[in-house]
Amino acid sequence: MPSAPQLGFLNTTSQGWSELRLLTTQTTAASVNLDGQGLTISQIVAAARYGAKVSLGFETNAEARAKIDAAVKCLNDKLDAGESLYGINTGFGGSADSRTNNPKALQLALLQHQQCGLLELPQTSSYSTPSGAAASLSLSEEKLSMPEAWVRAAIAVRLNSLVRGHSGVRVEVLRTMAALLEHNITPVVPLRGSISASGDLSPLSYIAGCLAGEDGIQVWIDGPDGARIKVPSSKGLAQYKLEPVRFHPKEALGILNGTAVSAGVGALVLHDAANLAMLTHITTAMAVEASTATDASFAAFIGEECRPHPGQIESASTIFGLLKGSKLATHLTDEGIHLLRDEDEGSLRQDRYPLRTASQFMGPLLEDILASWKSLNIELNSTTDNPLISVRENTIHHGGNFQASSVTTAVEKTRLALALFGKLTFAQATELINPAMNRGLNANLSATDPSLNFHCKGVDIALAAVTSELQFLGSPVSTYIQPAEMSNQAVNSLALISARYTVHSINALQQLLAWTLYLLCQALDLRALQRTLASQLSTQISNSISKHFSTWIEQPDQTDLSAKVFSRLQKRMDETSARDLEARLLESYQMAGFEIHKFFAGLPSGGGSDPLRNILSWRDESVQETKELYRKTTLEFLESPQACHASSLLGSTRPVYEFIRRTLGVGMHGIDNYHEFADVEAFGKRPTIGEGVSVILESLRNGDLFKVLFEEGVLLAK
């Protein structure tokens, strides 16, 4: 049989994480080399979000420097020869039928008409800070400007394109652009206004305006106390002794006419999306454990031999590997493929779809994200303006590399994948909350009586809310293209809009996964509690059978009968997990007592009336003993909420569970419910459920949780 195709998603994400850490760890920090050839998604993340240093490749490469200079000369020679060159001596877009003899002024005219974005008014404006009766609370706190990380990403991507020597932009301009990153000068760029057709014209005009030192362009810089302050760009440049740029022919157009903002935001999105894809595999494996489900659904034979899609194979292999060594999941090696018909009567023979088909569901999504990753890596190392200068051919080409559809398709595939990861996670999580589906866990994952503990009911509703939003965001943006700019841009990509909405999807999936991780840890603790109780309960039942029935039952029969009583009791306890403990125990012991009735009914004399009376006293006494056992053991768990009770039962998911319990300090829930809220003051001082989930969410946002995934052996690249 030919070998199965390899996708390499985990390798790609792991290598990306390693590169990011290399660029952002103080002891090993290297610079991001912008040479137009080797820029990666991880390098963009490092430069944009973590302030990694950047260097310009042409500073140490004479050939690259010569190519840039030659492109500038080629452009000037053709301009001096009187050639008609778009955007250099012609108008722009649908106005390209106009001509000018003032090419330098034309560059400023370009900036002027593109700097039309909406931004918050400077604090010096009399309209910016209403007070007294005129003051009101805003309908929305949404900013009109882009996050600084987006702008830094755009500058890095644009630089990497311009250094390729196809754009005719002088090295002096490129050095000033690089200085913005070096000194952490970030132009304030409007959030809206780009259709990503002729590139991201308007957003990039604010970066160009900053380089020119326009007072109408604001920038963020470090203030005297280290806090970020907003000042006019002329002041920001002056603070770091940077001379404002005076644009030569095509230079403003060279900066504006590209896909850098879309590609930059897209790169930031892809980095987080890939990490969330891997985290969804972790939560799926944890859900298998919490549901006491099987790893047999992820057997290599199913994918590698029967349906060899590379994404499905890698997804299944990842989950299967995570479950290795788990004492909660059942395993392919001991599942009992030859289980007899009567042995599992009344139970599902196979897991439900959210677990059993997880690799088939997620595999294609991995393929889509990886395809997007590869496409964006190409875009980051492309020249995307117009016109383009070929020094080798001594020709200026008029084309359309600014059309950002490659970015659009990349982020749209990614956003749909995020929506589907969310849908799968929602199904797995809500199955665990539901006592009709979770194989014996209390309703709402309560650790105590469900009549006074509705623990995850609010989480259940919140999951539905955020999943609905995520599904809405999964719809394409590109189908809403409108003709623009005198219908010259009758088709456009909407790449930046699509990338922006993919950021919303990232945020929504992060929240969904934070809630899910919270309830998974609770479910795993409840399984650990069940295992602890089962061990103690088995002994208790053996002792009670001996105490009440040793007169009539020999020791070997006692052992056999105890096992049958225990099995029937456990089954009925699992079936009644929506009810309070005492009611469950009473009904379960009544059912379990049937095994004792059956034993005596099988004796020649039936045992007489004494055993029957003893059955009733055995049941009543056992209910109380078991209730005390449950409450005592439950209290031990709840009084040590961060004790990582489930650690010894887990496979490779263990570090994630322990990170949440021990490092983040988000503990097992239920101590107030156990005491029936007797100490109201203590309840009022305890963190809310949402606070605990918020701590988990922050670890997703700042990357701490992903350090556990990629650096503590949870995910091992192959």
Element (H, E) at 485: none
Q: Which strand (E) or helix (H) includes residue 231?
A: strand 228-232
Neighbouring C-beta atoms of residue 132, cutoff 10 Å: 5
Those residues with Cβ within 8 angstroms of residue 678's Cβ, 6 or more apart along the chain or in another chain: none
> C-alpha angle 410/363/44, rounded to 5°?
35
Residues known to be catalytic: 86
Identify whether the C-beta of residue 87 lies closer than 8 Å to the C-beta of residue 110: yes
Report how far residue 22's alpha carbon sits from residue 33's, in angstroms, rounded to the nearest whole number: 14
Cis peptide, bond prior to residue 387, ω within 30 of zero: yes
- What radius of gyration, in Å, describes the C-alpha atoms of the chain? 33
Sign of the Cα torsion 241, 242, 244, 246 reads positive
Q: Is-contact 514 696, C-beta < 8 A?
A: yes
Please answer whether residues 715 and 14 qualify as being in contact, where contact means their C-beta atoms are separated by less than 8 angstroms: yes
Q: Note the residue count of the chain.
A: 718
Locate tokens 């590379």: which residue? 310
In contact, 510 and 693? CB cutoff 8 Å: no
**How far apart are the C-alpha atoms of 549 and 127, rounded to whole Å?**
89
Find the DSSP H helices in 392-494: 405-433, 457-473
CA 366 from chain centre, in angstroms, equals 13
Three-state DSSP state, 308: coil
* Phi, psi (degrees; rounded to nearest 5) at 147: -60, 150
Positive or negative torsion for Cα 702, 708, 714, 718: positive
- CA dihedral (77, 78, 81, 83) in degrees, to 10, reads -170
Q: Which two tokens stand for residue 189?
A: 């760029």
Task: Check residue 699 and report its DSSP letter.
Answer: H
Q: Which two tokens stand for residue 494?
A: 């909407």
Tokens matching residue 330: 């059942």
